[in-house]
Amino acid sequence: MTAGLRRTREWLTDRPWLTDLALGGGLTAFDVVTLSARTPAPSVVGLALWGLQTVPLFWRRRHPRLVLTVMTIAFAAFEAADPVPGKTPGPYFLIFGVFAVARRAPARVSLAWTLPALAVAVTADLLTGRSGPPRLDSLEPITATTFVAYLLVAWLLGYGARRIDLDARRLRDLNERLRAQQEINARQAVVTERARIARDLHDVVAHHVSAIAVQARSTEEIVQDDPRLGRRGVARIAETADTALVEMRRILGLLAAEPEGVGPEPSLRNVDRLIEAAEATGCRVTAALDAPADAVPAAIQVSAYRILQEAVTNVFRHAGPVDVRVAVRVDGRRLTIEVENAPAAAGHRPVPGSGRGLLGIRERVTAFDGTLDAGPRPLGGWRVHATLPLQGIR
């Protein structure tokens, strides 16, 4: 029953003209039938003046002030002409006109039209002697107090309905704005996630492809003199390529609804993989790892791993097989990452890069309000020193 009533109300709300037709047409038809049954039957003028107090209700939504004006004038004319002896509509029809004005116009405007209508109706009723003087102790239709009370209630109801409509409209606007903002936030989240995935993909590809390039060049130089060592180099290239594919599958799996478990999440527990990859290219790595993984939040571990990966990648991309020092330690409430390398050997051919490596490191450090110091060493080579605060990160 409740659902049926709700659907009926919604159906009528979408067709407001039906309500106007029922109100104006229903009242007019009822009055015509009632007055025609009187003896003697009222004149055509009487029926017209009476009808002018109900027929305008057809247009009460589009022209509420004009409707109230016509109804008020028709009421005063009916009172003065007295075309139906002993019969007067009283203030009842004007109630609908006042309600319509209060519902459709601001309070000041509706009062500016309601008060004159009330004054005209009361004056006409008093001058024709149809009602007695105002009596505060009576609301009978025979007193002018009735006009004041009924029209005041009608105005208050219309004013309240208008306020409800305005509040509902504001809520709809706020909901639309909220929905639009949510869509913007969702799109921004997608863009941010794509940027993060692009950074991770860049780190993985740059790291492993650079390692493959360095290994391939080293293998090319020794394959003629030492085929056995050359085969080991080729095997290392294949292993590095396989590792790159596994990590790429893991990153691209983030774009799927259910990512596959194709590899471990980057963390400080897997720093040895970076060291092994660097050593496979001929680098001589000295590692000082004094940062227990359990003491570092997971979010920091992912960024720390990527910073180390990019820094080590830059070493064998730009300097080749050189001495490298890697240090990771927890110092108070911050994580310190340091990668230093010796100068490149004479005649080394750097592997071309995208230029986004150092930028990616800086973005990851900035994301955690850390500090970064990256640049050439006084005695040659390169140094990357990053600190990430641990306080407030979980």
Looking at residues 77-103, what average pLDDT do you find? 76
- pLDDT value for 257: 43
Give Rg (Cα) of the chain. Answer: 44
Q: What band does 21 get if pLDDT is binned at 50, 70 and 90?
A: low
Looking at residues 183-199, what average pLDDT do you find? 66
Query: Over 80: is that where the pLDDT of 340 sits?
Result: yes
Task: Give the pLDDT confidence of 29-67 residue by residue, as tens digits.
Answer: 666 666 665 666 666 676 677 777 777 777 777 888 888
- pLDDT value for 255: 55
Looking at residues 104-130, what average pLDDT do you find? 84
The amino acid present at 41, given as its one-letter code, is A
- pLDDT value for 259: 43
Query: Over 90: is that where the pLDDT of 326 sits?
Result: yes
Query: Over 60: is that where the pLDDT of 81 sits?
Result: yes
Q: Which of 38-42, 91-95, 266-270 has the lowest mean pLDDT?
A: 38-42
Cβ atoms of 357 and 365 closer than 8 Å: no
Pairwise CA distance, residues 387 & 328, whole Å: 10
pTM: 0.43
As a residue count, the chain comes to 394
Domain with residues 182-389, CATH architecture: 2-Layer Sandwich (3.30)
Q: Where in the chain is the domain with CATH 3.30.565.10?
A: 182-389
Pairwise CA distance, residues 213 & 116, whole Å: 93
Query: Over 60: is that where the pLDDT of 228 sits?
Result: yes
Of 357, 347, 275, 274, which is closest to residue 314 (Cα–Cα)?
Answer: 357
- pLDDT value for 105: 87
- pLDDT value for 339: 94
Looking at residues 303-327, what average pLDDT do you find? 87
Pairwise CA distance, residues 5 & 214, whole Å: 77
Q: What band does 145 get if pLDDT is binned at 50, 70 and 90?
A: confident
DSSP element (H, E) containing 290: strand 284-290
- pLDDT value for 13: 59
* Strand-strand pairing, 284-290 and 323-331: parallel
Pairwise CA distance, residues 256 & 29, whole Å: 68
Task: Give the pLDDT confidence of 230-263 residue by residue, as tens digits.
Answer: 777 767 777 777 676 666 666 666 555 444 444 4
Looking at residues 369-379, what average pLDDT do you find? 90
Q: Which of 73-82, 268-277, 380-389 has the lowest mean pLDDT?
A: 73-82
Burial level of 117, CB count in 10 A (0-12/13-18/19+)?
Answer: buried
Q: Which of 45-59, 100-114, 187-201, 375-389 has the lowest mean pLDDT?
A: 187-201
Q: What band does 128 get if pLDDT is binned at 50, 70 and 90?
A: confident
Looking at residues 175-190, what average pLDDT do you find? 73
Q: What is the mean pLDDT of the chain?
A: 76
Which one has a higher pLDDT value, 207 or 140?
Answer: 207
